[in-house]
Amino acid sequence: MLQSKIAGIGYYVPKNVYTNNDLTRFMDTSDEWIQERTGIKERRYADRIGETTTTMGVEAAKIAIERAHITNEEVDFIIFATLSPDYYFPGCAVLLQREMGMKEVGALDIRNQCSGFIYALSIADQFVKTGMYKNVLVVGSEKHSFALDFSTRGRAVSVIFGDGAGAVVVQPTAEDGKGILSTHLHSDGADAEKLAMYYPGASSGIWLDKIPDWPDQELGGLLMTKEMLEDGTAFPNMDGQAVFKKAVVKFPEVIHEALAKNNLKTSDISLLIPHQANLRISQFIQKTLGLREDQVFNNIQKYGNTTAASIPIALCEAWEEGKIKEGDLVCLAAFGAGFTWGSALIRW
Ligand code: ACO
């Protein structure tokens, strides 16, 4: 069986910076509250018109492809992870394929939210390992800003999220013991509604009895009604404390699983790049695993939580800053809506 490696990496964040103080123009919040609970100082929002999840993904992909020393035509499979696609369907992978003038290759969208990039990387790894594809483009991109509730009602969710994109090219490697060592994926749908955006959706009420306090009215099909905007059900909904409690258990668990699979221990980790959910969650993981501060990379302070894009953006920034060197053991880990979680261990 072949080994796969990350051969090129890139990221793109929009130019529009919104500080915590900027958000106080729209909602009752404060820099102090946001920093204390999440560590976030500022985030980027895409241009309202013209900049989309796909166009940001394209910008990140161009850099990853160039750094992998291949051309767009050599990409033989596309995987695009996002929870904020340009269209309800088709997915962003085909839009990127069109935009980048790629061949008629397979194009797959992944809907695993904060774990989306790890799921996408794992799929790329399997395809490359089996010899099916040689250059798999993996993209994580989000334009959260179009669907957040920027009123005081939505502040617990909206202050956390930002826009951006990251991408990698996964290729086979002949170097023994190098590249992606293993990936580990999990889910538990029991708490699916604890972090969710229900519409547009085809649930037609069949799941709604599981959601406490759901407004007592007939909701059907793919409708997004004026009432949903008014009562807030049109926006993402999160039980922050439930997410926090589960995340601080599942992150360490899935990191230990990856280490055990490869007969390694926490002290072997050169750099842990956790999904940038919340700085407090990252700090909790660091403490639980007994890692030094310099063994964990965080950039949520600048970009907020960019969901499927957070790991590739952080991985690329860490690499550009010289924090990842040849031979380093890099651990990626994510937890998010679903709930889903996963990890990947890479010998750089
Ligand atoms: N600004 C000011 N006050 C706020 C804000 C805000 N942005 N948001 C909520 N509040 C208020 C609430 O209204 C509440 O006020 P009250 O006491 O008068 O009722 C008070 O702050 C406390 O609200 P809680 O929701 O209990 O706040 P909590 O301490 O749980 O912090 C947070 C919320 C930051 C979301 C926290 O639960 C958390 O970190 N959860 C983890 C979830 C997470 O990080 N999700 C990221 C996305 S999911 C992922 O990527 C895995």
Query: Domain with 280 in it: what CATH number?
Result: 3.40.47.10
- What is the SS3 assignment for 309? helix
Q: 232: which 2 tokens?
A: 């807030």
Number of structural domains (the chain) is 3
How far, in Å, is the centroid of ligand 1 from the Cα of 152?
A: 12
Written as one string, the DSSP assignment of 17-79 is EEEHHHHTTTSS--HHHHHHHH---EEEE--TTT--HHHHHHHHHHHHHHHTT--GGG--EEE
With 70 as the cut, is the pLDDT of residue 207 above it? no
Place of tokens 């072997």: 268
Instruction: From residue 283, give the alpha-carbon distance in Å to each of 26, 36, 147, 227, 239.
Output: 29, 13, 28, 39, 20
152 plus 66 within the same structural domain: yes
State the alpha helices, DSSP H only, in 155-239.
155-158, 226-231
Q: Is 178 exposed, middle or buried (0-12, 13-18, 19+ CB in 10 A)?
A: middle
218 plus 312 within the same structural domain: no
CA-CA distance, 215 to 228, in Å (whole number)? 10
Which is nearest to 255 in space by CA: 280, 304, 290? Answer: 290
Q: 287: number of CA atoms within 13 Å, CB side?
A: 8
How far, in Å, is the centroid of ligand 1 from the Cα of 155?
A: 8
247 plus 301 within the same structural domain: yes
Confidence of residue 24 (pLDDT cuts 50, 70, 90): very high
The domain in which residue 66 lies consists of: 3-173
pLDDT digits (tens, 9 = 90+) for 227-262: 778 888 889 999 999 999 999 999 999 999 999 999
Please list the active-site residues. Answer: 114, 275, 305
pLDDT digits (tens, 9 = 90+) for 65-121: 999 999 999 999 999 999 999 999 999 999 999 999 999 999 999 999 999 999 999
How far, in Å, is the centroid of ligand 1 from the Cα of 116?
A: 23
Written as one string, the DSSP assignment of 135-150 is -EEEEEEE-GGGG---
Q: Is 293 exposed, middle or buried (0-12, 13-18, 19+ CB in 10 A)?
A: exposed
36 plus 184 within the same structural domain: no
131 plus 158 within the same structural domain: yes
Which is nearest to 329 in space by CA: 341, 342, 344, 339? Answer: 344
Task: Tell if the pTM clears 0.75, that is, is over it.
Answer: yes
Q: What is the mean pLDDT of residues 120-148?
A: 97
Q: Which of 278, 284, 335 to mutate to test the pocket of ligand 1 (most atoms within 8 A of CB)?
A: 278
Q: 193: which 2 tokens?
A: 């509604």
311 plus 331 within the same structural domain: yes
146 plus 212 within the same structural domain: no
Give the ligand 1 atom nearest the CA of 310. Answer: 50
With 90 as the cut, is the pLDDT of residue 22 above it? yes
Ligand 1 is surrounded, with C-beta below 6 A, by 29, 33-34, 37-38, 114, 155-156, 159-160, 195, 240-241, 243-244, 247, 277-278, 280-281, 305, 335-336
Task: Give the per-residue pLDDT at 230.
Answer: 84
Task: Give the per-residue pLDDT at 288.
Answer: 96
Confidence of residue 221 (pLDDT cuts 50, 70, 90): very low
250 plus 230 within the same structural domain: no
Task: Give the per-residue pLDDT at 183.
Answer: 98
163 plus 225 within the same structural domain: no
Name the closest-CA residue to atom 47, ligand 1. 277
Task: Give the per-residue pLDDT at 289.
Answer: 96
With 90 as the cut, is the pLDDT of residue 211 above it? no
52 plus 169 within the same structural domain: yes
